[in-house]
Amino acid sequence: MHNLGQTRSTNQRDHLLHTPDTFVRAALPGMELATAVVHISPAGGAAFMQYTAELEPGGKLGPTSNQRFIYTLAGAADLATDTTFQTLTPGAYAYLPEDTAHTLTAQQTTRLAVIEKPYDTLTSVSAPEPLVGHEHKTLSVPLNDDPDLQVRSLIPNSLSFDFAVNTMIYQPGAALSMVEVHVMEHGLLMLEGGGIYRLGDSWYPVTAGDFIWMGPFCPQWFGALGKRPAKYLIYKDWNRHPLV
Ligand code: UGY
Ligand code: MN
């Protein structure tokens, strides 16, 4: 059934709301038995790329020379590098530095959130090593002393990394304590629950499955609504001087 041209998706200068009814699927080069929903890329104004990869059993991601971060949304997939082999299940994630030869092969129908970005070298520190982890093994800390808003940092707090990826869980009724305006941009995937996101001068109802891009200095605020927690995965560029 058509929806008479209506959608919650919107593309503004400093933010994008990308809702599942508007997703278009296409394979990226090198993908096998897999497609991608590209949520944001430099063509949309971002300095990074984020997509959802949907893999059939035996499906593979294509190669990249950029840094790649993978968060497992559903299913199971084998990640192999020259030295390691790990199976990623929901909540597991991997960070691969640029030029890391690797293969990722789905054992079953699998969905992955994937972030790719050229590495911004910092001469004072060495480049990061590959990393595999699980969100449940990371520390959960309250944001600004609010126990109803918990943040987990999936990437270690080290200057080697030029971006961060966190999960944030809001209990029903919890909200950011301030409207944030900052130089970092965000890629955000709503994983559970929903609420109201302020982006720029607009307030949007958002729910699990939605993607949001926030450009640098985009005013942003979120409040969780409903009877269950809201959870999102959020990327930000990090640890680098804005002029370099
Ligand atoms: O890390 C952040 O900037 C985060 N608090 N932003 C957000 O949730 N929109
Ligand atoms: Mn923010």
What atom in ligand 1 is closest to the CA of residue 220? 9
Between the CA of 177 and the centroid of ligand 1 the distance, in Å, is 11
Model pLDDT, residue 2: 78
- What pLDDT score was predicted for residue 137? 97
Interval between CA 244 and ligand 1 midpoint (Å): 23
| pLDDT score recorded for residue 244 | 82
User: Ligand 1 centre and the CA of 163: distance in Å?
Assistant: 13
Mutation pick for ligand 1 pocket among 168, 189, 214, 238 (CB with most ligand atoms within 8 Å): 168
Task: Extract the tokens encoding 227.
Answer: 């009877």
Q: Which ligand is nearest to the CA of 223?
A: 1
152 Cβ inside 6 Å of ligand 1 = no
Ligand nearest to the CA of 180: 2
Q: Is the CB of 180 under 6 A from ligand 1?
A: yes
Q: In what order do the strands lie in the sheet containing 220-225?
A: 202-207, 194-199, 220-225
In the reported structure, the alpha carbon of residue 186 is separated from the centroid of ligand 2 by a whole-number distance in angstroms of 7
Q: What does the pLDDT read at residue 207?
A: 98
Q: Of 90, 97, 117, 123, nearest to 231 (Cα)?
A: 90
Give the C-alpha separation, 231 to 9, whole Å: 20
C-beta of 234 in contact with ligand 1 (< 6 A): yes
Ligand 1 and 150: CB distance under 6 A: no
Residue 183: count of CB within 10 angstroms of its CB: 9
Q: Is the minimum distance from the CB of 199 to ligand 1 under 6 angstroms? A: no
Atom nearest to 143 CA in ligand 1 = 5
Q: Is 236 in the pocket of ligand 1 (CB under 6 A)?
A: yes
Helix (H, G, I), strand (E, B) or coil at 83: coil
Angstrom distance (rounded) from CA 239 to CA 183: 12
Does ligand 1 lie within 6 Å of residue 102's CB atom? no
**Separation between Cα atoms, residue 35 and residue 32, nearest integer Å:** 8
Question: What is the predicted pLDDT for the residue at 1?
Answer: 64
Q: Cα(167) to centroid of ligand 2, in Å?
A: 12
User: Which residues of the chain fall short of a pLDDT of 50?
Assistant: none
Task: Give the integer Cα–Cα distance in Å for 37 and 54.
Answer: 8
Q: Is the overall model pTM greater than 0.95, yes or no?
A: yes
Residue 44: the pLDDT is 98
The structure tokens listed for 51 are 């997509």
Which residues are bridge partners to 104 per DSSP? Answer: 79
